[in-house]
Amino acid sequence: MSNSYEPLKLRGERVWRTYTGGREIGRLHGGEGAEDDHFPEEWMFSTTRALNVGREDIEEGICCLDEDREISLKQLILSNPEEMLGKDHVDRWGASTGVLIKMIDSEERLTIQVHPDNVTAGRLFNSRFGKTECWYILGARSDGREPACIYLGFKEGITREEWVRCFERQDYDKMLSLLNRIQVKPGETYLVKGGVPHAIGSGCMIIEVQEPTDYTIRVEKVTPSGFRIDDRMCHQGLGFETMFDCFSYCGMSEEEVREQFCIRAEDVEWSQGIKRSIIGYKDTPCFRIERMEADGTCSFKGDGVYGCLYVLSGKGILKSSTHEYTVGRNDQFFIPAASGEYTITSIGNEPVSLLMMRGPE
């Protein structure tokens, strides 16, 4: 087992969902013959259990050490919360990371859905966390069913009564027409606040960073590929009347959606290379993402705040006081708050491109 206070290499967990996809995630792991199925997501750095009706006896979504599948990140955090997460974090949030990170690879459009904001989650689910999230667009399939797009927010003038009528008729085309359709491209980031209806289009590959819950309200009872969704998976135990309390009926134009929810990356001063803030605490108090290009040897340490380090591209060596890892695309490291210094050295002509993701402010 690794020293808990040095970078911990983790293995992502494939998770069952109602929609299909995951082919490109399988290819990331070297499966050239990978195909789409009902495991279109890989949960990363996760201490959150997935909620799937009919699969309650399966604990899925909890990430474990890459070198020892018997030891989960959740176990390590519960054993040493302050060293793993940081004292200030534990004082405010307890032994929860306060964040859930996923890779999503959609072969079909996801069903139209919404997640509660913090206030609504507290009232309806007795949870201190809602499910505000953001989407960092990694890429799109060349053989996708449509150009890469997302559906985000009600158009102007939509009322709860009209939305309920569409649901009762299960008029999918009408429901989709009431949302703003936004074409997306790699490198863009969209903030999806709790209460805002949305759907990820087919062929999108994204990294989603969100609050650590799995409360998903669905208004389509059948997925685009024909999978029938259990009623409880739609209303999450709230019932079909109460679930509409989770929606914010504040409409906006496509231009307003882009202005409010498409987050512009900003350069950050960093003496060791190139760093950009993808989304920061000024955008949301729920999480933060930075992208770094490590060329040559770069030094890091825990600094009292935990981090989730994901390798986007390039090859290199990650070296701590006791371990040395060869790193490459899709490698994942949890950086404990009490971690000592470690270095990442790029190999070859290409820098190592990294995402550093952190929990709530």
Flag whether 56 is in a domain.
Answer: yes
Total tally of structural domains belonging to the chain: 2
Q: What is the pLDDT of residue 58?
A: 86
- Single out the residue in 210, 236, 263 at which a domain terminates: 263
CB 253 within 8 A of CB 268: no
Written as one letter, the residue type at 183 is Q
* Residue 3 located in a structural domain: no
Q: Which domain holds residue 354?
A: 266-358
Q: Distance between CA 154 and CA 157 in Å, rounded?
A: 8
Final residue before a domain boundary, out of 209, 243, 263: 263
pLDDT for res 301: 86
Pair 170, 150 in one domain: yes
> Which pLDDT score is estimated for 164?
97
Residues 6+ apart with CB under 8 A from 214: 48, 49, 50, 51, 61, 100, 131
254/287 same-domain check = no
Please list the rounded mean pLDDT of every run of 10 residues in the chain (361 residues): 75 94 94 93 94 86 92 96 96 95 96 96 95 96 86 96 97 97 95 97 96 94 95 96 97 95 95 93 96 94 92 96 94 96 93 96 91
Distance CA 250, CA 262 (A): 17
- Which pTM value belongs to this model? 0.93
